[in-house]
Every structure is written in structure tokens, then in C-alpha cells.
Structure 1
Amino acid sequence: MLRSLFSGVSGLRVHQIRMDVIANNIANINTTGFKAARANFQDILSQTLGRSAVNTTQVGLGVSLAAIDNIMTQGALQTTGRALDLAIEGNGFFVVKPVDSSGNSVNHPLYTRDGTFYIDKSGYIVNAQGYRLQSTSNDNIQIADPDKIVSISIGSDGVISVVKSDGTKITYNIGLVTFKNPESLQRVGANLWDVTPNVTDPATPTPGAPGTDGRGYIRSGFLEMSNVDLAQEFTNMIITQRGYQANARVITTSDELLRELVDLKR
């Protein structure tokens, strides 16, 4: 059987995966804090047919998927004017802890760039899934007497200033974490990320104050938009479509060659 036939099939497979990645990027063009992905290809083992005095004669056996990278560049900031809408200007991540059915925090934290937070009935600052935002000391941020809040403001250093109805002022500190290789984080859905065991470094990051060690600053009243470049994605879509068509043409041409070979018997 012709090698070109199987090379064309491998090309169809990986171009379909690349189109899936592009489609997901475009679908999340308006997802808060979304980070685009990119599919990379690599050639498959080449078969050596012989050697000449100049070089080795080899025929490639197709293409395979090398990796799907996460593009962790900063997204544009969009103003909302809401105090609990937070954007990170820098490389940090918010730390949130899931809760079980009883409302107790689970030890395993998750990470996010989506800074849409709320105050629940118990006074915890939570995201849309009810996961609790962590402080610089790796504790849940719980505001006492949430029904008595008069005003709340959050500084670029992550300090939450809450003024109560009796005039008292209480402060809390939001923690951020950074990773040496944020591209290694794995998506778990709902704008959340998790560490990849034995790959992400540090595997258990410690929250620290915004503005320290490259964590970035917090901007209250803003949300980070998706970093998807729509013009680039449409360009990639065209390139991927043409690549798919070219590999399909290789298959049809290989089929015609096989037909000619079979017809030799007539």
C-alpha cells in the first residue's frame, strides 16, 4: 500500500484536531480570563531507503500532534465599575478552594484568572461555582456580618477594606500565586486551572501579596478579557482548512495511483 495514503490520513487527523482547537478559541472569545490554545505538529519517523555518498535517502511517514500549548499572555482589561470584579495585571493567579456538599473547604486548591467574585450568605468571598477565595495566609476570606456592610473597596495591593454600619473598618488580604511554567497548567473547566503532577513548578505554590515576586497587581472594577486574537484565529482557520484539503487531495491522488495499478491486470 502507498505510504502517501497513510501520510494523507495522518494529515487529516491532526488538521481536524487543530480546527477543534481553533473552534474552541473562537467559542471563548468573550470568556472572562480565557487563555487561547495552539496546536503544534511534528513529523513521524522517517523510513530509510538507502544511503548515498552525500546523504541518507529517507521517506517521511506523515505527521502527528506534538502538543497543544496554552498561550498565557495578558488579556485586555474591561471596566465594570463593580468592586468585586477583579483583574490581575501581571502573571499571578487567584487561588480558590472548592467546597463539599456540606460547605466545607476541600484542601486541594484551584487557580483562576477570572476575577468575578461575590459574597455568599456566610460572608465568604466566592466565585460563580461557590469556591472560596484565599488570602495571603492561605485561608478562606470570610467577611464578618456581611449584612452590615456599608462599603467595600479593594486596592491594587489586594487589601480589602470593609466599612460596617457601625463605622468600624476591617481589612483582609487577597493572595496571588505564580508558576515558573504556567503553560504547564491543565484546564479543568469553569475558567479554572490545576497543576500538572511532576510538571508544574512549584507543585504547591504559596499565596503572597499582589505586587511581590512578579505576581502582578489587582485592579478592582475591571475584568480581564479573553486573549484570543480573532484575526489570527480566522487566519489559522484558513490555513488549517487548506491543509486539510491538501491532505484530502493526497488521499484521492494515491487512490487514483492504486486504481491504475489494479487496472494493469486488464
Structure 2
Amino acid sequence: MMRALYIAKTGMDASQFQLDVVSNNLANVNTIGFKRSRGVFEELYYQTLRQPGGQLANGSTLPSGLQIGTGAAAVASTRIHAQGIPSQTGQPLDMQIDGNGFFRVLLPNGTTAYTRDGEFQRNSNGDVVTAMGYPLNPNINIPNNALQITVSTAGVVQYTLPGATAPQTAGTVQLTTFINPQGLESTGGNLYLQTAASGDPQDGDPQTDSRGAIKSGFLELSNVNVTEELVNMITAQRSFEMNSRAVTTADQMLQKLSNL
């Protein structure tokens, strides 16, 4: 009887984890470039009371065994890197990646981080930076007196100066792809870090080697589907309730045994 209590407890823990994942998805429904997560679960080990295929005393074998599971557990949370809906802003330094790839930014400690958040601005030095002040890698600098800024689908950033007709090139926005983007480490701030699971970064220009194109004046919205997340929330809630009901039922049965 005690086995049922512990099995139901693992089910409640798994449901709580699923609710945590759903809550984080819903909390970031308005976060630019956010990719929703999905909980991954597995069944726990089985207690084998009779081995399948075991031999009986009469020489025949068991067609099936007697195994009792011990519950479920969360083993991973994977990112769903599906394309988010584009939102037009009209700002030339707002960039959406149409396809695969991540923007490369440089952190203050010298580490390279990766993001899908293309909401860039110019700092006081004219460098193109994220909302947190992290510059693009490689750095792109646009003079303060630039009159017109354009970003092509190939990532080429150009501007014009007062009195000039020919545009000047500030640089090219680089994109990075990974063989396993689900293996990237989420650090907050819309940033990811490379890990052994993600594989080595493949850097290059947009529209080359399966990298996406740059859409200037657009931002990629979160790919969270609110309706789907609400369904997942209800499922997690009902699963928690059923497992808690199993705990109550097992407790009542133990109570009757103790009263005999």
C-alpha cells in the first residue's frame, strides 16, 4: 500500500514541474524572440516480481511477467525553436531573423552569447547594442550624424552622411547556427550560451549555409501559443488532482487496515 503513496507523489512532482514550465511560457508571452519550452518526462524503474519469459516448474515459460512501476519523473525541458510571428516596427535597427540562426553578442566578461532578440539600438558611442547594452559581435558602429540607416536581407548595415549621396557601409550582421539548438544553455536576458550538447557554433553571413535572412524594421514575437499553454495548464492541474486523489485513497485504505 505504501508503494501507491510514493508513486502518486512522483506524479504530483511531475505535474508541478509541468505547471512551472507552462507558467514560464505564459510569463514570457510578450518577450521578443522568446522560445517556449516543453517538459520531458520518463517512467521510473520497475520492480520485477516475475521475470517475463521466466521458466516454470513444468518447463514452460511465462508469456508475460509481473512488473510494478514506481512512477514518473521530469528529465529535461526542451526549447521549441519554431519561428515567431513578425511584428513591424519601422525602426531600421529592429531586426528579425527569417529562418535559422542567432545574433551574436559580446558580454562584458568577453563571452560570446547568442540571441533571437533583434531589438537593437545605438549607444553613446554609436555602437549597435542590445537593450542591455551588449554590442554585436563583430561590432558595428554608426556615426551619430548618420541620416539614414538601412539593413539589407544579407545583413549589410549602411548609412548616409550629411552632404553625401553614396551610402557608407558600417559592417555586416553575422548569424550563428548550431547543429542542436535545444542544447544551448538559457541564461536569462534573452541570451543563450554554447554547451557541449549544442555543438560548435557555425558563424557566417545571413542567407548562407541555411542561415536565415535579416528583415529590418521587424521584430520576432514570442512563439508561445496562449491557447495551447492554457490547455497544458489544465492538463497539469487535472493530473495533479488525480495523483492527490490516489494519495487520499491509499491513505483511506491504510486507515481501514489499521482499524482491523
> Could you say what secondary structure the match of 2:203 adopts?
coil
The separation in 1 between residues aligned to 2:13 and 2:96, in whole angstroms, is: 38
For residues 36-68 of structure 1, the C-alpha deviation after alignment (integer angstroms, 9 at most, x for no partner) is 001121110010112461112000011111211
Alignment of 1:23-62 (within 5 A): 23-51=23-51, 53-62=62-71
> Could you say what secondary structure the match of 1:67 adopts?
strand
The separation in 2 between residues aligned to 1:140 and 1:30, in whole angstroms, is: 28
Give the partner amino acid of 2:30. N
* 1:215 corresponding residue in structure 2: 211
* 1:102 corresponding residue in structure 2: none
> Could you say what secondary structure the match of 2:211 adopts?
coil
CA contact 2:90–2:217 (8 Å) conserved in 1: yes
* 2:58 corresponding residue in structure 1: none
The Cα RMSD (Å) is: 1.2
Which shows bigger deviation, 162-171 or 248-257?
A: 162-171
* 2:178 corresponding residue in structure 1: 179
Which ranges in structure 2 are unaligned for 5 or more consecutive residues? 55-61
For residues 63-114 of structure 1, the C-alpha deviation after alignment (integer angstroms, 9 at most, x for no partner) is 1112111101100101011111100000110000012xxxxxx431000000
2:77 is the alignment partner of 1:68: yes
The separation in 2 between residues aligned to 1:128 and 1:227, in whole angstroms, is: 20
2:91 is the alignment partner of 1:82: yes
Deviation at 1:207, TM superposition (A): 2.6
* 2:150 corresponding residue in structure 1: 153
Deviation at 1:206, TM superposition (A): 4.5
Give the partner amino acid of 2:77. I
Give the partner amino acid of 1:78. S
For residues 153-199 of structure 1, the C-alpha deviation after alignment (integer angstroms, 9 at most, x for no partner) is 11101001111124153211110010011111111111111112x21
> Could you say what secondary structure the match of 1:252 adopts?
helix
| Percent of aligned positions that are identical | 40
2:248 is the alignment partner of 1:252: yes
> Could you say what secondary structure the match of 2:147 adopts?
strand
The separation in 2 between residues aligned to 1:107 and 1:214, in whole angstroms, is: 27
The separation in 2 between residues aligned to 1:193 and 1:166, in whole angstroms, is: 42
Alignment of 1:191-210 (within 5 A): 191-196=190-195, 198-202=196-200, 205-210=201-206
> Could you say what secondary structure the match of 2:210 adopts?
coil
CA contact 2:44–2:69 (8 Å) conserved in 1: yes
Q: 2:237 aligns with which of 236, 241, 251?
A: 241
Instruction: Return structure 1 stretches of 4+ with deviation > 3 angstroms.
Output: none
The separation in 2 between residues aligned to 1:17 and 1:147, in whole angstroms, is: 49
TM (norm. structure 1) is: 0.91
Q: 1:163 aligns with which of 160, 163, 168?
A: 160
Deviation at 1:121, TM superposition (A): 1.0
Deviation at 1:147, TM superposition (A): 2.0
CA contact 2:94–2:118 (8 Å) conserved in 1: yes
The separation in 1 between residues aligned to 2:151 and 2:141, in whole angstroms, is: 15
The separation in 1 between residues aligned to 2:163 and 2:132, in whole angstroms, is: 32
Deviation at 1:31, TM superposition (A): 0.7
The separation in 1 between residues aligned to 2:156 and 2:203, in whole angstroms, is: 14
Which ranges in structure 1 are unaligned for 5 or more consecutive residues? 100-105
TM (norm. structure 2) is: 0.93
2:108 is the alignment partner of 1:108: no
Aligned residue pair count? 249
The separation in 1 between residues aligned to 2:252 and 2:120, in whole angstroms, is: 60
